[in-house]
Amino acid sequence: MKIFVRPSSMSDKHVPYCPGCGHGIALRLIGEAIDELDVFKKVIGIAPVGCAVRSWRLFKFDMAHAAHGRPPAVATGLKRALPDNIIFTYQGDGDSAAIGLAELMHAALRCEKFSVFMINNAIYGATGGQCAPTTLIGQPSVSYPSGRDPNIIGYPIKMAEIIASVSRNAYVARVALNSVRNIMEAKEAVIKAFKTQERRLGFSFVEMLSPCPTGWNMKPLDALKWMEEKMIPEYPLGEYSVPEGL
C-alpha cells in the first residue's frame, strides 16, 4: 500500500499559502525531484522576498535568503564557490522579470550552472495584487484597476523565450500548474533542469504558470479555468531550449 506523504526533503510545516495557490504545488515538485535525484545533501535553495521567501520553512535542506531580484547573482557567487553542489533559486515574476531582470539575464548569458524556478502568476501576490510584468492585457490589478493597458504599461514579458534567446546550451521550459497532466509535465521539467545542472551542461530555467486566486480576485476553480483559457494561450507551454547531452 502506498501512502501519500510529503517528500522527505520537505518539512511537515504548515503550507503558508492562500487556498488555491500554486506555490505549494511548485515547491512540492521541487521536493519530489530532489528526492528522486537523491541530491538532498548537496542541494541549496535561494529564496528572495514575497511569497517565495516562505519556502525555506517547507524545505529541510540548506537555504539562504537573497535581496529582491538578486537570487541569480547570489547563486552565481554560491555556485562558483561550490561547483559540486546543486543550487536553485525560487523566484516570483516581479523578482525575476522586473527588479531582477538584469541579474537573471546576465546569469543566463554567462551560462551559470544553476537552476531558476520562476513562478509566473501574472500578479504581485504578497504585496496585494499589483500589476506584474507578466500581467495579461486587460487583466485588472490594484495598480491598474481598469486592466493592463499596453499604451500605459506595455505588453506581458515572455521570460522563457527571452532566456532561451540569451543563453547557450540551456534547458528552458514553460510549464503550468493547473491540471494533473500539466503538473506531471512540470515535474519532468524540474527534473530536467536539475539534470542539466548536475551534468554541467548549462543554465536551466523553468517558468511555471501558477494560479493566484487571491491576487486575481477569483475562486480557486475559476482561477484554473482562467489559466487554461487566458494565460496558456498568451504563454505557450513547452521546451524552448534543450541542451545537448541531456
Partner 1 sequence: MVTGNEACGEAAIRAGCRFFFAYPITPQNELLEYMAHRLPEVGGIFIQSESELAAISMVYGAAVAGKRAMTASSACGVALMQEGLSYLAASQLPCVIVNISRAGPGLGRIAPAQSDYRQMTRGGGDGDYHLVVFGPASVQEMAELTYLAFDLADKYRNPVAILADGMLGQMMEPVVLPKSRDPNDLPPKTWAVTGAKGRERNLILAAPYTDEELIAINEELEKKYRSIEAAEQRWETVFMDDAELVVLAFGTSSRIAIEAIEHARNEGIKVGMIRPISLWPFPKEAFKDLDDHVRAYIVVEMNNGQMIEDVLLARCGNTPVHHFGKGGGWRPTPECVYEEIVRLWRRVC
- Which residues of this protein are in contact with partner 1, per CB under 8 A? 40-44, 49, 53, 56-57, 60-67, 70, 73-82, 85, 102-103, 105-106, 110
The minimum distance between CB 72 and partner 1, in angstroms, equals 8
- Give the span between the Cα atoms of 67 and 29, in whole angstroms: 24
The minimum distance between CB 122 and partner 1, in angstroms, equals 25
| Closest to partner 1 by CB, 2 or 14 | 14
H and E: helices and strands count for the chain: 11, 7
| Closest to partner 1 by CB, 35 or 222 | 35
Give 5's contacts (C-beta < 8 A, 6+ positions apart). none
The minimum distance between CB 109 and partner 1, in angstroms, equals 8
- Give the span between the Cα atoms of 162 and 108, in whole angstroms: 10
| Closest to partner 1 by CB, 43 or 175 | 43
The minimum distance between CB 67 and partner 1, in angstroms, equals 5
With contact defined as beta carbons under 8 Å apart, do 217 and 166 qualify?
no
| Closest to partner 1 by CB, 79 or 174 | 79
CA 235 to chain centre: 14
C-alpha grid cell, residue 190: 524540474
| Closest to partner 1 by CB, 62 or 198 | 62
C-alpha grid cell, residue 16: 503558508
User: Is beta strand 115-120 parallel, antiparallel or unpaired with respect to 204-209?
Assistant: parallel
The minimum distance between CB 148 and partner 1, in angstroms, equals 27
The minimum distance between CB 96 and partner 1, in angstroms, equals 14
Q: Using H for helix, E for strand and C for coil, what is the string for 166-226?
A: HCCCCEEEEEECCCHHHHHHHHHHHHHHHHHHHCCCCCEEEEEECCCHHHHCCCHHHHHHH
Q: What is the DSSP letter of 50?
A: G
| Closest to partner 1 by CB, 54 or 230 | 54
